[in-house]
Amino acid sequence: MSQAALILIKPDGLKKSLTGNILTRLSETKLEIVAAKMVRVSEALAKEHYVHLQDKPFFDELVKYLQGELHDRKKVMALVYWGNDAIKKCRELVGSTNPEEADPTSIRGSYGRITTHGVYENVIHVSSDALEAEREIKLWLDPEEIIVDLYPTKEMVTKEHKKKVWA
C-alpha cells in the first residue's frame, strides 16, 4: 500500500553539505518525491514537531537544533517520499536515532554525531509510523505543496487572509 513519509534534512546535514549524498542514498528506496521545500523553522513549529519529547531533558536543545541555532543554518529541507512501505524503507536507510548505535553504513551512522550538549545530531528526520507521518506532513506542508492527494482536503474561501504575492 502506498504510504507517505516526511523527511527533514536537519541543519547539520545542510551545514555539512550532505543534501546531495542524502538524496542519493534515499533514491535507493525507489520511492517518489512528491513534495520538497526549504523551511525557516519557527520555535512553535520545532516544539510542535517534537511535542512527544517535550518532557525530555534535551528538549530545549533539540528545539534549538531543529531551528538551526546550533549550526548557523536557520533552515531545513522538508521532503515527502511516497510509495510502497515508504516509512520502513526510509527508516532502514536512515538508521537508528543514536548515531553511535546506527549501522555504520546508514545515513545517520555515516554522518551523525553526539555533541557535548547531549543532543544527537543525526542529520535527518524520518517519520516513525503512518499516523506520525500524517501529523507531521500536515504540520509542515499545505495540500497544494504536495503533488498527490495524500489526505482529505476541504476548500475554504479566505478573503481576509493576508498573503505575500509577487510585486
Choice from 81, 82, 111, 120 touching ligand IDP (CB under 6 A): 120
The CB-of-134 to ligand IDP minimum distance in angstroms stands at 15
Q: What one-character-per-residue DSSP string does 55-101 give?
A: TSTTHHHHHHHHHTTTTT---EEEEEEEEETHHHHHHHHH--SSTTT
Tell me if 110 contacts Mg ion by CB under 5 A.
no
**How far, in Å, CA of 167 to CA of 58, rounded?**
43
Tell me if 119 contacts ligand IDP by CB under 6 A.
yes
The CB-of-18 to ligand IDP minimum distance in angstroms stands at 15
Compare residues 110 and 128 and give the one whose CB is closer to ligand IDP.
128
Annotated active-site residue 49? The verdict is: no
The CB-of-147 to ligand IDP minimum distance in angstroms stands at 25
**How far, in Å, CA of 83 to CA of 1, rounded?**
7
* Cβ-proximal residue to ligand IDP, closest one: 97
Compare residues 5 and 31 and give the one whose CB is closer to Mg ion.
5
**How far, in Å, CA of 83 to CA of 89, rounded?**
10
Tell me if 128 contacts Mg ion by CB under 5 A.
yes
**How far, in Å, CA of 7 to CA of 91, rounded?**
10
Q: Would you state the torsion angle of the CA atoms of residues 13, 19, 20, 22, taken in this order, to the nearest 10 degrees?
A: 60
Q: Report, as residue numbers or ranges, the catalytic residues.
A: 125
Which residue ranges make up the site for ligand IDP (CB under 6 A)? 53, 58, 62, 97, 118-120, 122, 125, 128
